[in-house]
Amino acid sequence: MYIAKKRINGYTHYYLRQSFDDGGVLKSRHLFYLGRDPRDYLVYPDDGKAFYFHEDIYDGLSEMGVAPDNDELERVFFPFLDPETQRVIEAFSHQGMIRKDREDLQEKVNRAEKADFHMFDKRRMHYLRFVEMDQSRIGKAPKKIYRDLLDKSRDEIEHYFMEKENILEPREKKVYPYVIFNVAAHFKSIISRKFPQVLDQEELDDCFLEEVCRLNADETFWADVGCTDWLNDYLVRYVCWFFDSEFGQSRYLEDMIWEWMARRQRYRPPTPRKQMRDEEAVSIMGMSNESVSAMTIKQLTRQYRYMAQKYHPDKGGDHESFIKLNRAFEQLLRRLKPGNKQDRYTPRRS
């Protein structure tokens, strides 16, 4: 069982649903309408920490031919419990994993190793787990990280991701759709997987919409939910995030640190990098102080693309020079003030 939610006339409505196997196809069905607040069906006797479920839930489940399971209901309603009650339950559940729990977990891990998961689900889970923009090595990720997707209908999987995506920070709301829809695959340059903000934004938008439409028409993905002639409700949030947000500062250095940590399985804080001087950055970008002082963000980005063709390893350059170019671009980009008439380079005061 799981709790699904849907926006109707500006209000969020909640439903108790269940995934079930229908001839080898996982489908979902409504069990009980919970109204606009599932907490209405939680009863706390004498204002204590203990609670029980309203009898209407038991009656509703019985009418659907579903035997009520208090443990499963507790798991499903846990996010809506009183915080103090949550604390007590967590303390009790963390006292130790019994043998059956360990066996059940290992069984799911074994099944995940043999199961096939849709690539879109894998990209979402991979980003939420590792926070990597470059997913070129996604095939090497252990399949056990996808075990939570087992035995779930498409509807339940989508609600699962809706909850998990709450951890995303505002600066990730554009990066995340860019990554999970694999927009970078439309561009040949390695820059697309590290610096999407320097790509042609109109072309990037078109590629993103192409991938959204492709997934929207994928019958194997939607399964029991089914395809429609309009954009599926579960994809609307990604389109809104993508077009209502901006790419933040590049995650290139953060990705390098995560990769370093993964290889050694032990984290040591990286040595602080000495900041590049503006004069050095200007020189690496192939400009003069006079020319950069009159540049806009768009013009600086155009110059970066031009220099990238020279320094990129695939174009005859070397790796170290290309890294310095990226640092120089980021250094000068921070000195620009976007948004108004002051969209110009501002030199650092000594």
Q: Based on the fold, state whether residues 45 and 120 are members of the same structural domain.
A: no
pLDDT at 267 over 60: no
Residue 153: per-residue pLDDT: 94
- Domain assignment present for 288: yes
Range with lowest mean pLDDT among 20-34, 63-77, 122-136, 307-321 = 307-321
Q: Based on the fold, state whether residues 90 and 149 are members of the same structural domain.
A: no
Q: What is the pTM of this model?
A: 0.68
Q: Based on the fold, state whether residues 90 and 135 are members of the same structural domain.
A: no
Q: Based on the fold, state whether residues 127 and 212 are members of the same structural domain.
A: yes
Number of independent structural domains in the chain: 3
- Domain assignment present for 265: no
Q: 124 or 264: which carries more pLDDT confidence?
A: 124
Q: Based on the fold, state whether residues 91 and 120 are members of the same structural domain.
A: no
Q: Based on the fold, state whether residues 237 and 305 are members of the same structural domain.
A: no
Q: Based on the fold, state whether residues 22 and 61 are members of the same structural domain.
A: yes
Q: Based on the fold, state whether residues 15 and 62 are members of the same structural domain.
A: yes
- Domain assignment present for 222: yes
Q: Based on the fold, state whether residues 126 and 237 are members of the same structural domain.
A: yes
Residue 342: per-residue pLDDT: 44
CATH number of 282's domain: 1.10.287.110
Residue 320: per-residue pLDDT: 82
Residue 198: per-residue pLDDT: 84
Q: Based on the fold, state whether residues 16 and 130 are members of the same structural domain.
A: no
- Domain assignment present for 50: yes
Contact 14, 37 (CB under 8 A): yes
Contact 64, 56 (CB under 8 A): no
Residue 258: per-residue pLDDT: 61
Facing residues of 15 across strands?
4, 33
- Domain assignment present for 263: no
Q: Based on the fold, state whether residues 317 and 230 are members of the same structural domain.
A: no
- Domain assignment present for 239: yes
Q: Based on the fold, state whether residues 120 and 90 are members of the same structural domain.
A: no
SS3 per residue for the chain: CEEEEEEECCEEEEEEEEEEEECCEEEEEEEEEEECCHHHHEECHHHCCCCEECHHHHHHHHHCCCCCCHHHHHHHHHHHCCHHHHHHHHHHHCCCCCHHHHHHHHHHHHHHHHCCCCHHHHHHHHHHHHCCCCCCCHHHCCHHHHHHHCCCCHHHHHHHHHHHHHHCCHHHCCHHHHHHCCHHHHCCCHHHHCCHHHCCHHHHHHHHHHHHHHHHCCHHHHHHHCCCCCCCHHHHHHHHHHHHCCCCCCCHHHHHHHHHHHHHCCCCCCCCCCCCCHHHHHHHCCCCHHHHHCCCHHHHHHHHHHHHHHHCHHHCCCHHHHHHHHHHHHHHHCCECCCCCCCCECCCCC
- Domain assignment present for 149: yes
- Domain assignment present for 251: no
Instruction: Give the structural domain span for 310.
Output: 274-350
**% of the chain exceeding 70 in pLDDT:** 85
Contact 215, 221 (CB under 8 A): yes
**Given 244, 261, 291, which residue is the final one in a domain?**
244
